[in-house]
Structure 1
């Protein structure tokens, strides 16, 4: 395995672990904590997901750079490109809608539930699948 592929594998699985830990563990559990209100949960969630998305963007750049340096197998490249595209879609199309709703709720307005949350979860699920598949493809084709 080349150095670039080793870096790409490590960053892909780090990225996967972060998404699983935050999106599928921390986010749902936070609202089960005693005394947790919707406003506090949204405030914490905004901070956590802003940080997660920032780290994800950095990891995506590192993965892309590592793969560009070493020409990985085409299948791994395509699958990981989908993961990067999913992240971009979340950041450009879904997060702004979620932010508008949370702004309204935090301002005390009775904002209707947003379907954007369901879109975000669906995209997170797709991202998990592509990161897992991409990491495995990199490992098995090295």
Structure 2
């Protein structure tokens, strides 16, 4: 296995672990903590997901650079492309709408419940499956 392939595998699994830990563990649990109001939870969530998405972009670039010299098989490239596309949709399409709603809630307005969170979670689930597939397939090539 080449060093670049080893880096790609490691980064894919680090990315997968971060998404699982933050999106599917930290995010829902923070609202169950004592004295965490909707406003505090939204404030924390905005910071955490902005940081997560920034790190995800860096990890995606590292994976891309690690696979340029020796492109992976098409099925791996497809799985990675799905993960990259889900991240792009989350950052470019869903997060701006969620930010507008959280701005309203943080300003004290009674904003209607957003379906954007469900879209974000759906994209996150697809990204998790794509990263898991890419990592497993990279290990087997």
TM-score of the superposition, structure 1-length normalised? Answer: 0.98
4+ runs deviating over 2 angstroms: none
**Aligned mates of 1:28, 1:129 — CA distance in 2:** 20
The alpha carbon displacement at 1:74 in A equals 1.3
The range that moved more, 20-29 or 71-80, is: 71-80
The alpha carbon displacement at 1:85 in A equals 0.7
Instruction: For residues 105-139 of structure 1, give each alpha carbon's deviation from its aligned partner in whole angstroms, at most 9, with x where no partner exists.
Output: 00000000111110000000000000000000000
The alignment status of 1:133 with 2:133, answered yes or no, reads yes
Give structure 1 stretches of 5+ with no counterpart: none
Instruction: For residues 59-84 of structure 1, give each alpha carbon's deviation from its aligned partner in whole angstroms, at most 9, with x where no partner exists.
Output: 00000111112211111111111100
Name the residue aligned to 1:112. Answer: 112
**Aligned mates of 2:71, 2:108 — CA distance in 1:** 51
Name the residue aligned to 1:22. Answer: 22
Local SS of the residue matching 1:70: coil
**Aligned mates of 1:4, 1:74 — CA distance in 2:** 17
Name the residue aligned to 1:43. Answer: 43
Root mean square deviation, CA, Å: 0.6
